[in-house]
Amino acid sequence: MSKDAEGAGFRPVVGIDLGTTNSSVAYIREGTPYVIPSPEGDVLLPSCVLIDTQDRVIIGKHARDGLVAMPDRSVAAIKRSMGSTAPVTLAGKKFLPEEISALILKELRSYLIPIFGEEDIEAVITVPAYFSDAQRRATKRAGELAGFIVERIINEPTAAALAYGLNHSQGHKNILVYDLGGGTFDVSVVTVDQGVLEVRSSNGNRQLGGEDFDWRLVDWMAERVQSQFGVDPRDNLRARALLKDLAEHIKWTLSSENTATVESPVLLVDNGTPIMLSTEITRKEFVQLIQPWLNETMALVSDVLSQANLTPQDIHDILMVGGSTRIPQVQSMISEYFQQTVHSEIDPDLAVALGAAVEAGLKSGALSESGLVVTDVAPFSMGIAVAEPLSAGRWGPGFFSPIISRNTTIPCTRTTTVTTVDNGQTEVEVEVFQGEDRMVANNFALGSFRLTGIPPAMAGEEPIQVTFRYNLNGILEASAQIISTKKTQKIVVHDGLERQSAASFQASQARLESLWAHGPEVTEQEDALDAFDTMEDEFGGEGDMLAGVVPAGNQSDAANDLHQEAEITLADLAPYLSHRSPKISGKAKLLVKNLEAAANQGNLAALQDALDEATDLLFEWEASF
């Protein structure tokens, strides 16, 4: 174990960049973030998984080679599917996207054994700032399946800014983080002021990155083959994989050369005739192919500046993050827009992992003397479904009323007041959503609960106060109170940090352990695939997964829901039991004792009081550290 880790008095904490193209892991060593290499000395692990013909799992560069040789047994860019419940077929077997990601993370975990041994390791894992609730939750689940303890998910631009801010925390600077990776694009405005790093605004597109550029080149090459031979190579699985590999090499070549030569003597064989590809492409032609995506990134840059009330002239430094920022047109476009050169002191491929290590160091105490404090923002607006007046006496349901707006600094508490819409109405359904659309149908559903016992009155005369509390770990507490009676109901939504059902998690764990430990026995694990149906039934599609929800009109389940919330809260309190502050650790132990006692006695009132006290302190502590 490193000196820093021992001195902190905590379990080891590492930072992980789980990337679309490459992944890496880093930690704090003697006060400096350090990327941990593979046994072969590589600091980047290609995010590719291969199950070979002997059912052995291969991760990394050899798996990347298999994308061409064995395309039906290989998978890449799985990050783009995170959050989906649709299984991915690999070597004839079905896996959830987070299970594939867990294989990549497990490989990274093996790099840590020479440093930390076999003990428990906590991981801070990064995600694109614009990842949805379901995608963040899937990322956390992948880390847990790989054997990590995952209590913090942070945004990639925030991590990159931390990597920069560790050595540039003095004075006042506005920084733009332009993060163009293999599968996602994020841009954030960050202000560093005397050691306080504040994310001012974020935006992005979770389906825009180098992968799109590659596939546009694949189309370009395929169209040339089709015009010459009358055959579309994209219809052949191996030829399509070969074109994708060629596209990546074209992109790399054009980052340093003005022209790339493309040669494939035998792309495929059609009715006994070899189909070849021989052509050239210039950097100018490549830029024309990808210009629509580059234009979109600049529109998002303009948006985050507007959200932060800044102009291009107000930006002091620009951080370029992600391998796709090596494209010369990207750098010249940014330099021209801001009229300044971009920062290249931090490797764009490693910036996110290094920043995640800084966050890990702040969390573990390894960087407690750095004086660095970071605040982030809510990546999406969060609010409730409301009815709006359409005409005299008519109301239209399904409108979205934001309570916490996008780019609000977290942790935060926001309150709004709504009223009943019908005469004599005695209950309301509070539906919680995440998104930016005016209609809730186009946003992500996070949860709902029913508030009953409203005194009968004329429509609009009985006010109800709805309060949202959102903390650094992405935990949203939504509550509603009848002002006249003070009756309150609430839910706790774990935004990206929900512990999903034990049955589905254990099924995933069993499937992966068998795959690693027993190789060929993976073919006998079909029974475990029933977990996919279980997950579909329990959670539905993306955005429909709920945590800690009191089902509408089903008060008989209230006790079960309180106990479930208590279990989640106990897990949230666990890190504070060994806190370096005796006052905090002592209070955490008392809260745990009160929660367990109330739960064991079946005293729901006492349990609710203990939960309220614990939640209040968790929010207070999160805001302090």
Active site residues: 17, 79, 156, 179
- What residues have CB less than 8 Å from 566, skipping those under 6 apart? 595, 598, 599, 607, 610, 611
In contact, 60 and 110? CB cutoff 8 Å: no
- What residues have CB less than 8 Å from 581, skipping those under 6 apart? none
Angle of helix 283-307 versus helix 328-338 axis, rounded to 10: 40
In contact, 122 and 11? CB cutoff 8 Å: yes
Residues in the chain: 625
Q: How many CA atoms lie within 13 A of 70 on its CB side?
A: 19
**Residues 501-521, buried b or exposed e (16+ Cβ, 10 A)?**
eeebbebbbebbebbeeeeee
Would you state the structure tokens that stand for residue 240, as one six-digit string?
Answer: 């399509």
Q: How far apart are CA 57 and CA 52, in angstroms?
A: 7
Q: How far apart are CA 425 and CA 454, in angstroms?
A: 7
In contact, 349 and 323? CB cutoff 8 Å: yes
In contact, 158 and 355? CB cutoff 8 Å: yes
Q: Which of 376, 437, 441, 377 is nearest to 404 (CA)?
A: 377
For residues 569, 575, 577, 580, the Cα torsion angle rounded to the nearest 10 degrees is -140
Q: How far apart are CA 384 and CA 445, in angstroms?
A: 9
> Which phi and psi angles does 273 have, rounded to 5°?
-105, 125
User: What number of H helices and E strands is found in the chain?
Assistant: 16, 27
In contact, 568 and 537? CB cutoff 8 Å: no
Residue type, 306: S
Q: How far apart are CA 139 and CA 498, in angstroms?
A: 11
> Which phi and psi angles does 327 have, rounded to 5°?
-65, 120
Q: How far apart are CA 125 and CA 360, in angstroms?
A: 9
In contact, 21 and 44? CB cutoff 8 Å: no
CA-based torsion, 505, 80, 348, 48: positive or negative: positive
Q: How far apart are CA 305 and CA 581, in angstroms?
A: 40
